[in-house]
Each structure stands twice: as structure tokens, then as C-alpha cells.
Structure 1
Amino acid sequence: MAGRPPAGRLGRRLGAALLVVVTALASGCTAEDAAPKNSKVELSVFWWGGDRRAELTKKALDVYTERYPDVTFKFTHQGNAGYFDKLSTEAAAGNAPDIFQIDDNYLTEYAQREILLDLTDYVRSDVLDLRKLPAGLAQSSQVTGRTVAAAAAENTPGLIYNKSLLDRLDLPEPTIGMSYEDYLDWAARITERSDGKVYGTMDPSADYKALWVWLRSQEKELYRGRQMGFTESDLTRWFELWAGAREREAAPPGRVTQPANGGDVTKQLVSTGTAATSFVWSNQLSELQKLTKDRLEVVSYPGNPAAQWARASLYWAAFRGTRHPETAVHVIDFLVNDAVAGEILGTERGLSANLDVRRAVEASLTDESMKQSVAFETTMTEKFGAAPVPPPKGHATIKQLLIQAAESVQFGKATPRAAAAAFISQANAALTS
């Protein structure tokens, strides 16, 4: 049956293929749609990202078409700005792409709006195989118990630090499990020994993922259903922690920190030489390394490493209204689990979600920074805690509200308690609107 992917994965038992047909019927397509046949299928695929991502994604899907000539693709990609506005408009009109990229900012919202194809039965029948993904990564694709996407790649928070600077100052490197108290003492020594030319740490008080990891180290979460999972008192302590770091000059003043608060890699303080560390995603090490001649390395955020988890940097999802659900799912399975596809896609979206594919990709890497990222993620795999449920609808708004609240403290416009109170009120309102 060259030309069209078989029901289920290649070589799957007939029983699994039959189960897929039942699943397809339940999801609204016909048995004829689900059955193997030689008919031309064109699937539309939509993602955001730069030219390099587009080149690699197209190349991987060309391999799929080589194997199954009856399945071709219509590609569309753009920058992140406006991506979800366009996707939402197309979904409302019933003509969303068959397969598209999504992240945890919108995963829950799109699942609740019934835009995403329910993949649960495809996973049960192994049409979509998630068994080679870390358990937390597979779990992160679920909303209210349903699998609604598949992780395209993995990352986790990473504290990127300037090793060359530490060598010059004859200071030790940060370590996994370092307490926040020890971390800030260490950072203050950097500022002092560099005569104030470099601050020991960036101030991540505006960064939701830094706050989330800090909360998890205290057995709390960023969210609890459709409410914030922490109190005004918790957030006050978080803001006070970094206000103290600024006061002792372990961290820079607000005017220095502000450009980095939005997450722009080119403005991170470890790459501009303003601070010895930046709180980012571990897979951003390679991008940051290109911006400085000093050697950068990565370690976990301060605190218990079990507060971190294997996070899907991005997901692949299918449109609930696709005319070819099984073929779309088969393509997603290919992008996640196929070794050839994995080697083509490399680490552009993050580390391969499939652990076997990740090992194959790691062996082919030539970028030393990416090798470090993979090695770090591998080390952390045994230390990760359970993955939290995907953020609720409104997560993107919450991130912006946190930046506003943190900056009001960074610039002395509000006390930590006043900023925390304003944030909790606004955030809970945003989540329930």
C-alpha cells in the first residue's frame, strides 16, 4: 500500500488497525476515511518560527511524502506575533489547518473550545505512540484527562551562567540544589569581586517560570484550577526576595533588568555581560552562547531540582474538523517518533521528545552548547518532579500581569505587598472572565 499510511503505525497488529477504524467512526469520520486506500490527500500544516524552522520542517515532511507519495502538504508559517489570532479566526470559520503548532499558553483554551482533535483513543491504540516520551511530557499533553496534542520537543528552565567570568574571578560555579540563600550570597560575591562591573544574578521576579519553580519547591503551584495557586503572602515573599537581592547589589536595579523581562534572548543579561546569570530555558544556551565570546554553561534553578519538570516547548495538534484525522495523527506520530525526522528537525524546537530519537540526535550534534543542553536535560530527567497540568485559559495575560507587578516593585513604584495584592486581584479576575 505505497502512497497512503496504513491504519496505525507500520507493522501494527490488525486488531489495532480495526480499533482505529472504530475510533475514527466515533470522532466523526467514516470508515472509508479511516481505511487504507490509494487516494490523494493534501494536509495543511501551520506553525510559527523563523526561516530555519521552516526549512527543517518542510524537509522532514518531504521524507514523509517520499514514503507515502499520496500524502502531500500545504505549508504555512509566520512569526509568533498574530499567529494565534489567525489560527483562532480560521478555526471559528471551520477551516483551520489539519495540523498545527501550539504551546502551553493556549493548549487548554483551544481544547476547551473544541478546536483540537481528541487524540486519546489514537494513543490507546498506538496510532500515536507516546511510550518513548518521559511520563511527565506525555502527561503535559492532557487537558481534563484527554490527550489533545503531542509534545514536539522538550525543555526545562535553565540557569545559564558565565563560566569564563567565574574563572577570571576565581569563584565556584553554581550547583544543582543550591538554596536561594546560598545562591544570592554567591551572586553578591560576584558583584563585589568584579568591583560592581557585573552583577551576580539577573532579577527574575517578573518571570513566571522562575516564580513557578520557586513555588513548587514549597509544594505549591502557579495555578489551582482557574485560580492562582498561591497567596498574596507568597508573592510578597517572592518580590521581597529579589528586592533584597537588589538592595545588596547581588542583582541589578530595575532600569538594567527591564529590557530582559520580556524574555528576548538578545537582551538577557548573561549575554550582554551585565550579569553572571540569566533565568531562561535550558535549550536557549546555544542562542545565548552566540552572543558572547565567554563560555556559558547551564545548571538548574536554585532550590530543589524536583521543582522542575520536563516541559513541552511546543506541541503538534490536529484540527477537530480535519477531513483526514487518522492521516493527520499518523503524521504527528512521524514528527514525534521517527528517527530520520528527528535528526532533520534536530534541536530547533528544543530537545527531541522521544528519548530514543534524542539519543540519536545527540550523537549527531556538533554544536557544543547544544550538547551541553542535552547533557543537562539528561541529568535532570532523573530529578524532575511530576509535571503540572497545562496552564488554564488566560495564561498569556497572567504572564503580562506578573511583569507589570514585578516592574512596579523593581522601579520603587509599589511595595512588594501592594504589588502582590494588585496582581492576585487582577489575575484571578482574568482567569474567571
Structure 2
Amino acid sequence: MTAPRMLLRGLMAAALVLPLALAGCGGDDDSSAGGKTELTFFWWGGEARAKLTQQALDLYTSKHPDVTFKTTWQANQGYFDKLATLTAGSDAPDIFQIDDNYLAEYATRNVTEDLTKYKDSGKLDVTKFPESLWKYGVVNDKLAGLAFGENTQGLVFNKTKLEAAKQELPKTGMSWGDLITWAQKAGTATKIPGTMDPSADYKAFWVWLRQNGKQFYNGSQLGFTKDDVQKWFELWKGARDAKATPTADVIHEGNATDITKQTVVTGKALTSWVWANQMPDIQKNTKDELGVVAYPGDPSAQWARASMYFSVYRGGKHKDAAVDVINFLANDPEAGKILGTDRGLPSNLDIRTQVAATTTDPAMKASIALEDELLKKFGPSPSVPPKGHSKVKTELIKAAEAAQFATLTPDKAAEQFFSAAQAAVSG
């Protein structure tokens, strides 16, 4: 989902002028032909998401007949190219979906409306949200987006195969070393490598850093050193040497974000390192029963991460109306029932309880149960990743795979990644 760097910069620079000019025109202008307000709404996703979103918007219109919607959606690929084009021109959407790869980038270029005043006045109600979740939408002291789903890191494991081999199941709170020892033993018993190697996975590295008193980012700078990366790569070299993980070619397959490529789905490892809300989709792709626990180590290193946000265009003419819509989608029980967990576990905890009580999907119940368990243990949210984050993620995969295939030592791979990551966030 990464937009080409040069395209994004050029288009976003152009977008800077338009929002500032329009924002200087004063407050909302909700006058439209025939007394109607038409809001444009843009998101990514598949047909199922489009259908559910349209149903929720139709519900809003039934309760607010003067507000209608012009909706546009598309698949993930190319979405941010299109969004950059729209925000640079006169056709920018009033409401758009965004994630933490780009929220800071758009916010610092004044594309997103600061929602703080709406939150403070109660027009945007976050009182039922975990505090760390809505705060994960703050960029430079401005609320740039409303978190529209909660997520956290989840270690998904093959319960069927482990129980058949009479092996202990992984548990929340086990150390990283214990997890690798467990994976080695379970792999021997099942003849399947115990765990996917997550050294290329930024979210696993991020949790490990927080458990070691570091952050992935400190503001717009890296929060770790080259030595931290080397220790991380060496940890997983040891796991590979101990045959606790698959071979490098299989790890490469598992590094893909496609659900169908996850090693717990392909049967090439007993665990996969994913976002917890992916559990239901992963379960649909295997006949074996799966389970999910937190990542190894102290679970307080995990946090309530926004699976995605809705942001309001700063240069739009109908900002008050747009805010009312996203408030409705997040907090109205009927809308919550329609939208379910398509964009992650509902941010509103009351809506989440409602969804959990009505779902018949065991994998969804497991995902919600993990999130509810960790909600009591979550640490404070980190700052939203700065611009360059997508490039940093790509460079981590590149360097980790060099170590996995042994074309570089952990030391040299760490040096490569750290240098490239510094350039990405400062460029």
C-alpha cells in the first residue's frame, strides 16, 4: 500500500496550498443546492466493506435526510496514490480513510482537520474509547484522525497440531527465549518448524524494543540504535540455527502480508506474527483450529493501535457535518451492528461488547477476548509513525532477509537497515 515517495511528496506539497486557502474562509458552509449537503467519502477495502459502509451511511441519511453521500472506494493497491491526487486537487474527499503509515504525513502538511475542538466539545465522543486508542490519532498535539478500530499484535498458533502432538500451547507473558525454546521442542514433536521468523516484522521489533526500554521512533527520529537492530537479528539467527524456524525461502514467503501466505496457514510453521484482528480471516484459510496470544515478553509493551482512521479534510466546506458522520459511525449502536469488526474491533467499548455478544465466529471471539485481556495491560501508545515509515518497513524486510539468507551477517544487515532507516525519516 505504499505510495511512491516522489509522487507523494510532490502532490502533498501542492496540497498544502489548497487546504490553507480554503480553511481561511471561515467556518462550515453547509449550504447546498436544494438545502441538501452532499459529503464525499473515500476508503479502501473490498466489496464486503463497501456494502457494509454504504448500509451504515444509508442509516445516517435516514436519520439526517438533508445529508447524502457520494462514495468512492477501491482496493488497497493504489489507494494512497489516488488520495494524494485528490487532496492536491479540487476533488478532495470530505471524509477519507487513512492508516498510521500516512497519518503523520498528511497531518503535518495540513491536509487533515484538527478534531480536538470537536472532541473537547463532545461533538466527537471518545469517552467510550480506550484513552491510548484515541490518542494514537494525535500528531503534533492535534487530533488528526478518529481511530475507527482497535488492534494489537497477536501470535497466532496451530492449536490442532500442537494438541495432537501433546505439546504445550504458547502463553501470553512467556519470554522471547522461552518462545524460541518452545518452538524448537514443538517443531521436533510435530515435524513442523515451531515459529515463523519475525525479524523482518516491524511490529515484532517494535514490541521487543519497548520491552527493552526503547521506542521505534522518538518524534520524527529513530528511537533505537544500530546495536539494537544487531541484537534483534542475532536473536533470530540463533532461532534459525536451532531449527526453531523454517528455512529462509519459507520465511521469505511468510514475510508477505497476504493472509494466504502466512506460515500458520500454509502449514510451514506452527505460528505466525500478525495483527490480532486478522485472526478470523486467517482461520478461514485453514481447517485446523487456531489460537491467539500476545507477543512474547511483558504484554504492557503492546498498545491499543488504531487499525485505521477516518480523517476530515481541512479544506472542506462541510467539516461539521463530516465530523458528525464519523461520530455516528463510531458511536451509534445500529451503525456498530452493521459495521461489525470489518475495520477492526470497534473503538467504542460498548459497541465492541455488543458485537462480541452477537458474533458466532469462534475466531472473532478469540480475537476480541485477547484484546479485552490486554486492554487491562496495555502500555501508553507511542507517537504516530513519522513520514518515511513505509520506507523504514521496507528496508527492515530487505535487511532481515539478507541476514536470513546469510548474504549479510547480522552486524552488516543491521548497519544496512539503520543507515537506510535514518535516511527514510530525515529525507
Partners of 2:25 and 2:282 lie apart in 1 by 46
1:51 aligns with 2:47: yes
Alpha-carbon offset, residue 334 of structure 1 = 0.6
Q: RMSD between aligned alpha carbons?
A: 1.6
In the alignment, which residue of structure 2 is the partner of 1:137?
133
Gaps of 5+ in 2: 1-21
In the alignment, which residue of structure 1 is the partner of 2:333?
339
Q: What TM-score, normalized to structure 1?
A: 0.91
In the alignment, which residue of structure 2 is the partner of 1:320?
314
Alpha-carbon offset, residue 257 of structure 1 = 0.8
1:221 aligns with 2:227: no
* Maintained 8 Å contact 1:38/1:70: no
SS of the residue corresponding to residue 69 of structure 2 reads strand
1:280 aligns with 2:274: yes
* Maintained 8 Å contact 1:29/1:323: no
Alpha-carbon offset, residue 262 of structure 1 = 2.5
Alpha-carbon offset, residue 72 of structure 1 = 0.4
* Maintained 8 Å contact 1:158/1:301: yes
1:71 aligns with 2:67: yes
In the alignment, which residue of structure 2 is the partner of 1:149?
145
* Maintained 8 Å contact 2:156/2:273: yes
* Maintained 8 Å contact 2:148/2:330: yes
1:430 aligns with 2:419: no
1:395-429 Cα offsets, whole Å, 9 max, x none, are: 11110000000000010100001010111111111
In the alignment, which residue of structure 1 is the partner of 2:170?
174
Of 211, 214, 224, the match for 2:205: 211
In the alignment, which residue of structure 2 is the partner of 1:4?
none
* Maintained 8 Å contact 1:29/1:325: no
Q: 1:209 to 1:276 in 2, by over 3 A?
A: same
SS of the residue corresponding to residue 224 of structure 2 reads coil
SS of the residue corresponding to residue 277 of structure 2 reads helix
SS of the residue corresponding to residue 212 of structure 2 reads coil
Paired residues, number: 406
Alpha-carbon offset, residue 32 of structure 1 = 7.0
Of 185, 188, 194, the match for 2:184: 188
Amino acid at match of 1:323: K
Partners of 1:100 and 1:31 lie apart in 2 by 20
Amino acid at match of 2:66: D
Q: 1:74 to 1:66 in 2, by over 3 A?
A: same
Amino acid at match of 2:192: V
Partners of 2:345 and 2:62 lie apart in 1 by 25
Partners of 1:31 and 1:206 lie apart in 2 by 46
SS of the residue corresponding to residue 425 of structure 1 reads helix
Amino acid at match of 1:413: T
Q: How does 1:5-404 map to 2 (within 5 A)?
A: 28=24, 30=26, 33=29, 39-194=35-190, 197-404=191-398
Amino acid at match of 1:428: Q
1:18-68 Cα offsets, whole Å, 9 max, x none, are: xxxxxxxx9646567379x99200101000000000000000000000001
Gaps of 5+ in 1: 1-25
* Maintained 8 Å contact 1:142/1:149: yes
Q: 1:117 to 1:133 in 2, by over 3 A?
A: same
Amino acid at match of 2:298: N
Partners of 1:145 and 1:281 lie apart in 2 by 27
Q: How does 1:396-415 map to 2 (within 5 A)?
A: 396-415=390-409
* Maintained 8 Å contact 1:94/1:321: no
SS of the residue corresponding to residue 423 of structure 1 reads helix
Percent identity over the alignment?
Answer: 52
SS of the residue corresponding to residue 286 of structure 2 reads coil
* Maintained 8 Å contact 2:23/2:315: no
Partners of 2:82 and 2:111 lie apart in 1 by 13
SS of the residue corresponding to residue 88 of structure 1 reads helix
Of 397, 409, 413, the match for 1:419: 413
SS of the residue corresponding to residue 96 of structure 2 reads strand
* Maintained 8 Å contact 2:132/2:381: yes
SS of the residue corresponding to residue 373 of structure 1 reads helix
SS of the residue corresponding to residue 114 of structure 2 reads coil
Partners of 1:188 and 1:161 lie apart in 2 by 14
